[in-house]
Amino acid sequence: MDLDKKLTHVAVVGAAGKMGSGITLLLAQEMARLSLLPENRERLFRLDAVDLDPVALRGLQDYVRAQAVKTAEKTAVGLRDLYADRPDLVENEQIIRDYVDRVCSIVWPTTEMAACRGAELVFEAIVEKVEIKAKVFSQLKDLCPDAFFFTNTSSVPIGLIDEQAELGGRVIGFHFYNPPPVQKLVEIIRAESTLDEVAEVAEAVGKRLRKTLIPSHDVAGFIGNGHFIRDGLHGLAEARRLAGEHGWVEAVTMVNRVSQDWLLRPMGIFQLIDYVGIDVFRFIEEVMDRHLDEDLLDPTIERMISLGVLGGQYPNGAQKPGFFEYQKGKITAVYDPEKKQYRPLEPEGWTAKVDAALGPLPEGFRPWKALLRAPDRKAALEAHFAAIASQDTLGAKLARAYVQRSREIGQALVDDGVAFDAEGVNGVLTSGFFHLYGPINDYCK
């Protein structure tokens, strides 16, 4: 397989979106690197960045340029090697300028799908609706008769896309995590119909992009969302249960704190749902609910959506309000759906009462960030969960139930044939969600 040749003409559809822009950057930088290799000097590298939204495409160009500058400045020494046989470019500044111009000139932004005619690899990152994806792929298969299609769908079965768009097995799930240039994980989802050569190319591209590849079977939600959605549903159900005694705002705060501090995760479950977007959570729930024999629609999510509280990010990356309101990434208030307004945190008032109701964290507690690179991480995790197992506080009880539910979800993903093995589940949660430990573990049994 001549992978460099396949990478000479690539298209990203939905290129100006959250995921599409990161995928575009990642590919354009790799294509720029390839274009500098002596064996590729005669080749033209071109990435058609297709999106319906012309304004967002303008933003994509700015984003690609700004990020290419950052990459070039960070890797100036490595770049010098790539430019070794260009005596005309001597100063770092000249090399950086050439590299940035090269990355930018590879990206051809367009609102016309027809512009990507003849592309060899097509990455799709449009809205999470199977009907729309199938319609777009039907168009693409005529425009790019030899292309292999990599869909970034978070939950739609790949076999269904193949069937509806009649792609003849030329499609595979290539599920980047957000943001694609930073996140190492790519879940690879091969449908029964996916051709061997498509799977081979997907693996080669993933390795070329220096990603950690974890295979998942073609079951709606795959491993990542298979765990995340059910884990979220547990948190939502716990909050509803606690709300009876403590009030909704207090209950959301409790579950969020427990799932962050007691479970030692990078963020609490409600903050994570806000980050992903409450509407995106709902899209994924719906797809999974439709395809799996399991009731996965949550009434609180429905209510938040009907109230227009959606989370997600502003174009500048700042967090929009959802279950919480944020300032500079920090939670400042909690949404009260009855009053339809946010209730500010009160460290001396109701927030302190929540802390008191949960009880103290285990002695010697170190947060997620402190343990991330700690050499004694395993021992620290064991001590932390041993303490939780023996505590009789509300916080410890909620944490035990949460860890146990997370483990059940992970184990079911293996037993139901979604993941290939426990390592696959643990790998997705540790590399894609930055958990310190996989859900299938011996902690807190």
Q: CA 145 to CA 134: how far, in whole Å?
A: 16
Contact pattern for ligand NAD over residues 51 through 70, marking x by CB under 6 A: xxx--x--------------
Query: Any contact of residue 307 with ligand NAD (CB under 6 A)?
Result: no
Task: Give 258 or 428: the residue with its C-beta nearer to ligand NAD.
Answer: 428
Q: Site for ligand NAD (CB under 6 A): which residue of 66, 127, 307, 318?
A: 127
Task: Give 151 or 391: the residue with its C-beta nearer to ligand NAD.
Answer: 151
Contact 369, 232 (CB under 8 A): no
Contact 109, 49 (CB under 8 A): yes
Q: CA 185 to CA 152: how far, in whole Å?
A: 12
Query: Any contact of residue 50 with ligand NAD (CB under 6 A)?
Result: yes
Query: Any contact of residue 14 with ligand NAD (CB under 6 A)?
Result: yes
Shortest Å, Cβ 23 to ligand NAD: 9
Residue 92 CB partners (closer than 8 Å, separation 6+): 76, 80
Residue 71 CB partners (closer than 8 Å, separation 6+): 29
What SS3 string covers the chain? CCHHHHCCEEEEECCCCHHHHHHHHHHHHHHHHHHCCHHHCCCCCEEEEECCCHHHHHHHHHHHHHHHHHHHHHCHHHHHHHCCCCCCCCCHHHHHHHHHHHHHHHEEEECCHHHHCCCCEEEECCCCCHHHHHHHHHHHHHHCCCCEEEECCCCCCHHHHHHHHCCCCCEEEEEECCCCCCCCEEEEECCCCCCHHHHHHHHHHHHHCCCEEEEECCCCCCCHHHHHHHHHHHHHHHHHHHHHHHCHHHHHHHHHHHHHHHCCCCCCHHHHHHHHCHHHHHHHHHHHHHHCCCCCCCHHHHHHHHCCCCCCECCCCCECCCCEEEECCEEEEEEECCCCEEEECCCCCHHHHHHHHHCCCCCCCCCHHHHHCCCCHHHHHHHHHHHHHHCCCHHHHHHHHHHHHHHHHHHHHHHCCCECCHHHHHHHHHHHCCCCCCCCCCCCC
Q: CA 136 to CA 133: how far, in whole Å?
A: 5
Shortest Å, Cβ 298 to ligand NAD: 18
Task: Give 132 or 370: the residue with its C-beta nearer to ligand NAD.
Answer: 132
Shortest Å, Cβ 140 to ligand NAD: 10
Task: Give 128 or 250: the residue with its C-beta nearer to ligand NAD.
Answer: 128
Question: Which residue minimizes CB distance to ligand NAD?
Answer: 17
Query: Any contact of residue 126 with ligand NAD (CB under 6 A)?
Result: yes
Count of residues interacting with ligand NAD (CB under 6 A): 25
Residues numbered 237 to 296 that lie near ligand NAD (CB under 6 A) are: 276
Which residue do the tokens 């993941």 mark?
419
Task: Give 152 or 406: the residue with its C-beta nearer to ligand NAD.
Answer: 152
For ligand NAD, which stretch binds (CB under 6 A), given 8-16, 242-250, 296-304, 371-379? 8-16
Q: Site for ligand NAD (CB under 6 A): which residue of 3, 4, 18, 115?
A: 18
For ligand NAD, which stretch binds (CB under 6 A), given 16-24, 82-90, 166-174, 236-244? 16-24
Shortest Å, Cβ 57 to ligand NAD: 8
Shortest Å, Cβ 440 to ligand NAD: 23
For ligand NAD, which stretch binds (CB under 6 A), given 30-38, 47-55, 78-86, 327-335? 47-55
Q: Site for ligand NAD (CB under 6 A): which residue of 26, 34, 125, 428?
A: 125
Query: Any contact of residue 20 with ligand NAD (CB under 6 A)?
Result: yes
Task: Give 11 or 440: the residue with its C-beta nearer to ligand NAD.
Answer: 11
Residues numbered 146 to 165 that lie near ligand NAD (CB under 6 A) are: 152-154
Q: Site for ligand NAD (CB under 6 A): which residue of 13, 32, 165, 288?
A: 13
Shortest Å, Cβ 429 to ligand NAD: 15
From the list 151, 148, 162, 139, the residue with the least C-alpha distance to 120 is 148
Task: Give 134 or 255: the residue with its C-beta nearer to ligand NAD.
Answer: 134
For ligand NAD, which stretch binds (CB under 6 A), given 101-109, 125-133, 325-333, 391-399? 125-133
For ligand NAD, which stretch binds (CB under 6 A), given 73-81, 98-106, 173-181, 342-350? 173-181
Task: Give 126 or 191: the residue with its C-beta nearer to ligand NAD.
Answer: 126
For ligand NAD, which stretch binds (CB under 6 A), given 3-11, 28-36, 122-130, 288-296? 122-130
Q: CA 52 to CA 20: how far, in whole Å?
A: 12
- Binding residues for ligand NAD, rule: CB under 6 A, are 13-14, 16-20, 50-53, 56, 125-128, 136, 152-154, 175-178, 276
